[in-house]
Each structure stands twice: as structure tokens, then as C-alpha cells.
Amino acid sequence: EVQLVESGGGLVQPGGSLRLSCVASGFTFSNYEMNWVRQAPGKGLEWVSYITSSGSPIYYADSVKGRFTISRDNAKHSLYLQMNSLRADDTAVYYCARKTPGTSWFDPWGQGTLVTVSS
């Protein structure tokens, strides 16, 4: 079964840092591009970041550029999101989502991990 499991969310103060992880199973992780997508409480979906199967190139939404860093470890079947200089408006459920090369949709998605930025 194809599965993505996120972890690392929690409560952090404004200006703080957090590192999210996403562990993949049930497929050859190194063959797929990966993304982070977030959803603020009661709001819609917002694409955050993308990484190719090899780790480069990498793209970010303008809202997180310069503060967030996406990375992956294919040997560990894992995707990461290092989040620095966190702000209240970064509060959201963060989902990792797989993307097949040559396509433009996201499937599947993990269950998400909640990040709350508050003092």
C-alpha cells in the first residue's frame, strides 16, 4: 500500500523553527517528485514547496521563500521541510504529497501534521 506519514508538527513561538518529516512506503521513493502543501485552519489548500526525485531543482511559494527549505533522503525514503522564522500565518496542517514525473497532480497525500505558531 502506498503511504505517506508526516511528523514533526507542534506548537512553536513566532520566530522559531521546526522540521517536518514525511516517510514514504509502498513505492520506489527515489522515482517520484515530492511536494509540501499546507492548509490553514478552516481555509483552502496552498502549495508550499516542490523537489525533484534527485533533489534538484527545488521550488518554493513566494510566501515561504527564504524561510523554508525542502530536502529529501532517498536512502531513508524521507522528505523534509525545515521551517525557520515562523510566523502566525504559517499555522496550518502540512501535507506531503507525491507527484509522478511528467504529470501535474498530487497523489497520494499524507494524513498531515499540524503546525501552530503562537506565543
Partner 1 sequence: QSVLTQPPSVSGAPGQRVTISCTGSSSNIGAGYSVHYDVHWYQQLPGTAPKLLIYGNSNRPSGVPDRFSGSKSGTSASLAITGLQAEDEADYYCQSYDSSLSAWVFGGGTKLTVL
List, in order, residues 6 or more apart from 39 with CB less than 8 Å away. 45, 46, 92, 93, 95, 112
Residue 105 within binding range of partner 1, rule CB under 8 A: yes
DSSP characters for 19-31?
A: EEEEEEESS-GGG
Binding-residue pattern over the window 48 to 87 for partner 1, x denoting contact by CB under 8 A: --x--------x-xx-------------------------
User: What single-letter DSSP state applies at residue 74?
Assistant: G
Among the listed residues 35, 70, 72, 90, the single contact to partner 1 using CB under 8 A: 35
Query: Smaller CB distance to partner 1: residue 16 or 69?
Result: 69
Cell numbers for 115: 503546525
Assess 113 for contact with partner 1 (CB under 8 A). Answer: no
